[in-house]
Amino acid sequence: MALAVSAAPAAQSATEVLSARIGPGKTSTRFVLDLNTPVSFNVFTLEKPYRVVIDLPAVTWRLDPLRTPRGGLIRAFRYGHFRDNVSRVVLDVSRPVAIARAFVLPPKTGRIHRLVVDLRPVSAAEFSRHAKPKPAAAPRTDTAPIPLPKRRIPRSVKTVAIDPGHGGVDPGAIGVRGTREKRVTLSHALTLARKLRASGRYRVVLTRVRDVFVPLRMRVAIARRRAADIFISLHADSIRRSSVRGASIYTLSERASDRQAARLAAKENKADLIAGIDLNEQTSDVASFLIDLAQRQTMNDSADFARILTNEIGKVRPLLRNTHRFAGFAVLKAPDVPSVLVELGYLSNPSDERRLNQRRERERVTAAIVRAVDRYFAREQAFKR
């Protein structure tokens, strides 16, 4: 079901979302956003899993990250930048729902405009009887196949692709004190990029440089199109047991090294779903894949780099035991770019969270990654001699 509502447009960047509330009623659930101006919006439902998506013009979010309302039919809610001039809210709902009403209320007193969406429970059959959703077009995903290069041209200046995990409407993990993974990954990525560029030895490609959602496949495509020699995806996990801490490093494999690695890959692979993308309209290669022979050398190189990284990061950070693990991460699937995913630490652990927010610690860990990159390419040079 889709519903588009227009209102007199305000100066778009000036629109601020001040708070979000949920009113769990007996028969329906009301979701309310408080805004400083009226907005136009588009609301629609998705299935597998059941979600409600509200697209807005680009807005400024003023919500308290520690206060995440839920209740009634709404199990969880996320918000953030989606693409170009679209900001997005994604509601996870506990069952099939229909949008009963959606409207903007002008202020009765004061200056607060209210965007109201009323949801009512429906049967799965009724849900699928409704019209197809009309979501705002997803960011370009660069799905056109990129051929494998015939032969890598040896270059003195290597290209390093850095991938700050999550972003925009996908916040990633949330720390015990409210730190959002998407900010930690971006700050580390920008510091790492600066150090690599300053060395004069590397060209650097970033998959994002601001708080924006980037689909997983596009992250891979960016690295491949720029013929990156190595791909580093940065993350900071969160789990229920708050005593668990330390960095860990992951590479791609068909079968996971252990249950935690499998769980982590499943979670990280959900990024597109979390951002309110209809996976029914995509091919399923995010979910399953096969590794062909062409990928074998890339996987060996990835494992080599992971070993060097483990060694260097271990000098400056506590490590999770069995530091190098593997699983089916969608973002590590470039067949021709050695790729690793670094979990810098656990946002669910108070001391890790503190570290991940400290500039000094950020400088230390990114310097360790630079040393690992240096060692990795030096080893490659040694083979050639």
Residues engaged in binding Zn ion (CB under 5 A): 165, 172, 235
Q: Token pair of 46, please?
A: 């998705």
**Dist CA 268 CA 185 (whole Å):** 13
Does a cis peptide bond (omega within 30 degrees of 0) precede residue 49?
yes
Please list, residue by residue across 76-90, b when 16 or more beta carbons sit within 10 angstroms of its beta carbon and e when fewer do: ebbbbbbbeebbbbb
Residue nearest to Zn ion (CB): 235
Contact 19, 36 (CB under 8 A): no
**DSSP assignment, residue 2?**
E
Taking alpha carbons only, the member of 384, 366, 385 closest to residue 160 is 366
**DSSP assignment, residue 8?**
P
**Dist CA 284 CA 126 (whole Å):** 26
C-beta closer to Zn ion: residue 219 or 371? 219
Taking alpha carbons only, the member of 217, 340, 345, 347 closest to residue 283 is 217
Contact 277, 170 (CB under 8 A): no
C-beta closer to Zn ion: residue 96 or 172? 172
Taking alpha carbons only, the member of 261, 328, 278, 347 closest to residue 138 is 278
C-beta closer to Zn ion: residue 22 or 256? 256
The three-class DSSP label of residue 293 is coil
Q: Token pair of 215, please?
A: 């689909």
C-beta closer to Zn ion: residue 30 or 180? 180
Give me the least distance between CB of 255 and Zn ion, in Å please. 21
**Dist CA 179 CA 347 (whole Å):** 7
C-beta closer to Zn ion: residue 235 or 325? 235
Contact 104, 50 (CB under 8 A): no
**222 CA to centre of own chain:** 15
Contact 31, 91 (CB under 8 A): yes
Beta strand ranges found along 186-282 (DSSP E): 202-206, 230-237, 247-252
Give me the least distance between CB of 275 and Zn ion, in Å please. 13
C-beta closer to Zn ion: residue 93 or 223? 223
Query: Exposed, middle or buried: residue 183 (CB in 10 Å: 0-12, 13-18, 19+)?
Result: buried
* 67-to-174, 210, 305 alpha-carbon distances in Å: 12, 24, 40
